[in-house]
Amino acid sequence: MYLATADAARRGAWVALALAILLPLASYLLFGDRHLNISDEGFLWYGVQRTAAGEVPMRDFQAYDPGRYHWCAALAPLFGDGILGVRAASAVFQGLGLLCALLVARRVARGVGWQLFVGLVLMLWMFPRHKQFEPAIGAMAAWFAVRLLERPSTMRHLATGVFVGLAGYFGRNLGLYCGLATGVLVLLLAWKQREPGFARRAGAWTLGVGLGYSPMLVMFAFVPGFAQAFGDSLRLILEHGANVSRPWPWPWRVESAGLSAKNAFRDWMTALAFLLPVLALPGLLFAVVRTRAEDLKTRAACLAPAVVALFFVHHASVNSGAWHLAQSSPPLVLALLALPQLFPARRGAVALVAWCGLALVTLGFSLSSNPDLTQTLGQPSVEHRIGRETLKLQPRHASLLAGLEAALARTVGDEPVFLAPNIPSFYCVLGKRSPSWWLFFFWEATPEEEQALLQELGEPRVDWALVFESPRDVQDRRFSDTHPLVWQHFETQWRRVPAPGLPPDFVLFRRR
């Protein structure tokens, strides 16, 4: 009996590994060269380029924590020298997260067919592709948390701590979520099981956090200016916030009047998806508290991801858009998939309701919000060359890029150019370095910050600026609104340059 169980476990692990390789690979082959996000994806792409050139994230350019840049800079050259390489490196990390998620799910989804179903559901939630680190780390956190509940040995406490530290290397918010979630589980185990050795296990977890965070500690100690840059980035977050705020999309706030059927469906599916954590987490967390110590192991695949989901949902609470919910979703999805563990007497019925309901929400949400699907399925495409790579873009996007490239080639040429407020992809497309530390300009700048930006544009001298000035910007935050002094400087000390082919929402300035 034991040998049969062990063989089944090994087969399940091999199936999980195969799916974790094949599903991201298939997604990359189908969608890897489709469309281009000139804003957020460009933020990652530019950072990877500058990191590969020897610059330091956060110190030399506006950036996330350095882990994702080091990962992509190391792997991207294996797949391509442009955006395709960055996407492939992100897909590899996605595969690691998917593997961890499937290793959790195989406790309740046995058999190749069911594991394939779970893998497809998780893949549909893992978007956008330039933010694969968030959902992948959430899935990894769920796996470490499950293993901790199943067998809370000293070594598993240590391994969990190492993971928490590494998560912080990829994102301080991710490290915080993982640390709080696994820290709560360490305390939960101490409360439920009352076994000796708590100090040893908690100490192992703490030591692991330090070991996992050692790449950052080394950078603090040996990379000049990095510790100061990290502190400055924390100050900026405290002063301005980490994201542009967006309210939680409750169903009663959805306004469909005047919207097309497609956009109304998107808004309603987003509101429905945002109900999942609201409806599911209270009951799941009640089950965490009420579960007896001897039942923790058999319920771990449901309870541990639920605790992780409680903290990851914060990521979607500040900027409550579909993309942020998707980035924080894998722990909650795993908890819902494992819901039958809480109802052994009605396991089949609960599985049918939970899995079918989740599948329907997943399909509706992803088909309306996942850019890999919304910008690809049923959409015409044309090939557009960027560097030595070819992308397939919607005709209007290809026309926009071609017009911008041609207009800037005729005017700016090889000279440096300042881009604002959220178009860093063009630095990569044009092969240019940003003259400013800043890449995004959505915060309302203080007069001191605006003066510092003007100084950056003056030393060394930058004679060109391209500003995307459109009322469709995030929350109507146009550059002229967030940086009025800089905008006034452009209008008075620079001149607008007409450039044939330049889209009307773009304004090209040249210093007088």
442 shares its domain with 485: yes
4: confidence class by pLDDT, cuts 50, 70, 90: low
What is the tally of structural domains in the chain? 2
Range of the domain at 424: 394-511
The confidence score (pLDDT) of residue 363 equals 98
| Pairing, β 382-386 against β 389-393 | antiparallel
6 burial type by CB count under 10 A (0-12 exposed, 13-18 middle, 19+ buried): exposed
pLDDT, one tens digit per residue, over 281-340 is 999 999 999 999 999 999 999 999 999 999 999 999 989 999 999 999 999 999 999 999
353 shares its domain with 429: no
56 shares its domain with 180: yes
The pLDDT > 90 percentage for the chain reads 89
The residue out of 326, 343, 374 marking a domain boundary is: 374
> Does residue 147 form part of some domain?
yes
347 shares its domain with 408: no
The confidence score (pLDDT) of residue 108 equals 92
> Does residue 382 form part of some domain?
no
Please check the confidence at residue 43 and state whether its pLDDT lies above 70: yes
309 burial type by CB count under 10 A (0-12 exposed, 13-18 middle, 19+ buried): buried
> Does residue 418 form part of some domain?
yes
The confidence score (pLDDT) of residue 1 equals 47
Average pLDDT over residues 257-275: 95
The confidence score (pLDDT) of residue 38 equals 94
Please check the confidence at residue 254 and state whether its pLDDT lies above 50: yes
pLDDT, mean over the chain = 95
421 shares its domain with 492: yes
pLDDT, one tens digit per residue, over 66-119 is 999 999 999 999 998 899 999 999 999 999 999 999 999 999 988 899 999 999
Average pLDDT over residues 192-205: 95
The confidence score (pLDDT) of residue 5 equals 63
472: confidence class by pLDDT, cuts 50, 70, 90: low
368 shares its domain with 415: no
368 shares its domain with 446: no
Distance CA 385, CA 377 (A): 21
Q: Which of these, 220, 45, 254, lies nearest to 130 by C-alpha position?
A: 45
| Pairing, β 417-420 against β 494-496 | unpaired
Average pLDDT over residues 378-401: 95
The confidence score (pLDDT) of residue 242 equals 78
The confidence score (pLDDT) of residue 476 equals 55
> Does residue 386 form part of some domain?
no
pLDDT, one tens digit per residue, over 80-91 is 889 999 999 999
Distance CA 55, CA 49 (A): 9
Q: Is the bond leading into 331 cis (omega within 30 degrees of zero)? A: no
In the numeric block, which tokens belong to residue 292? 């007896």
441 shares its domain with 364: no
Please check the confidence at residue 2 and state whether its pLDDT lies above 70: no
157 shares its domain with 250: yes
CB-side exposure of 38: number of CA atoms within 13 Å? 18
Average pLDDT over residues 386-407: 94
Average pLDDT over residues 380-400: 95
b/e map 117-133, b = 16+ CB within 10 Å: bbbebbbbbbbbbbbbb
In the numeric block, the tokens 């890029």 are attached to 401
326 shares its domain with 292: yes
503: confidence class by pLDDT, cuts 50, 70, 90: confident
The confidence score (pLDDT) of residue 28 equals 98
307 shares its domain with 419: no
The pLDDT > 70 percentage for the chain reads 98
Average pLDDT over residues 386-393: 95
> Does residue 71 form part of some domain?
yes
DSSP E strand boundaries for 211-257 = none
Average pLDDT over residues 437-457: 95
The residue out of 318, 342, 374 marking a domain boundary is: 374
Please check the confidence at residue 473 and state whether its pLDDT lies above 50: no
The confidence score (pLDDT) of residue 296 equals 97
366 shares its domain with 405: no
